[in-house]
Amino acid sequence: MSGFSTARQNMVDCQVRPSDVTDTRIIEAMLKVPRELFVPLDRRALAYLDLDLDVSEEASTKRCLIKPAVTARMLQAAAIQETDKVLVVGCATGYIAAVVGQFASEVTATESESALAAKARAALAELGMGKVTVQVAAPADGDRTHAPYDVIVLNGATEIIPEGLYQQLREGGRLVGIFAAAQPPRATIVTHSHEDFGSRPLFDAFAPVLPGLDRRPAFVF
């Protein structure tokens, strides 16, 4: 077993499984997808650590792959089915999209940084993930072209209610992400039901706020 393969197994055994992740599809997907492929060469030694891993380009806004256990717990809460159409918002270099693509029917991913979107496309193509498409778009915009979605996953936090994304959910659809309007930030699931949206906190979690989903500073006289 190679060094990265061993690290991948340790990530699942020491971070994901102990976090009450029991969905075997998620576990198998995280064992299969080489996380190091989505990390810059000079940071690949960090690919499987329990941290929000910065994959930003120079002089760009900070973009991360969120912690493996947080990723797995949010995906488990979303209860993605094999027939589901999924939107991954703020995908960075595309790791979550690759994991979801192992068991969802169709995946659209958005990323505001065009250089990162290009890296995501390259990594996904290397893995033969033809069911995953990557679009350049601001996180708040989502991708209305392919809406509605059964599931929307935020690869990061939001300090505001992302109403534009809510409107892209199918009836019965779910959105999962880290909501940071109040302290402590919490991973939260939002469900679209009967033309209304209900939310339920899942667990405390931190992740960098996605660009454009940050709270605007109040005007001070």
Over residues 137-185, the pLDDT tens digits come to 999 999 999 999 999 999 999 999 999 999 999 999 999 999 999 899 9
Is the residue at 221 inside a domain? no
Is the residue at 147 inside a domain? yes
Average pLDDT of the residues in 10-33? 98
Question: Comparing 30-39, 59-68, 83-92, 125-134, which segment has the lowest mean pLDDT?
Answer: 59-68
Q: Is residue 220 predicted with pLDDT exceeding 60?
A: no
Is the residue at 171 inside a domain? yes
* Per-residue pLDDT, 43: 94
| Cα torsion angle, 157, 177, 180, 198, sign | positive
Average pLDDT of the residues in 8-33? 97
Is the residue at 214 inside a domain? no
Domain membership of residue 194 as a residue range: 3-204
Report yes or no: 156 and 177 within 8 Å, Cβ to Cβ: yes
The residue length of the chain stands at 221
Is the residue at 144 inside a domain? yes
Preceding amide of 40 cis, omega within 30: no
**CA distance linking residue 100 with residue 157, whole number of Å:** 18
Q: Facing residues of 177 across strands?
A: 188
Domain count, the chain: 1
Is the residue at 107 inside a domain? yes
Is the residue at 190 inside a domain? yes
* Per-residue pLDDT, 219: 47
Report yes or no: 134 and 117 within 8 Å, Cβ to Cβ: yes
Mean pLDDT of the chain: 94
The contacts of residue 216 (CB under 8 Å, 6+ apart) are none
Is the residue at 209 inside a domain? no
Report yes or no: 174 and 197 within 8 Å, Cβ to Cβ: no
Q: Facing residues of 158 across strands?
A: 179
* Per-residue pLDDT, 62: 81
**CA distance linking residue 68 with residue 30, whole number of Å:** 9
Please report, for the domain that includes residue 189, its CATH number. Answer: 3.40.50.150
Average pLDDT of the residues in 21-29? 97
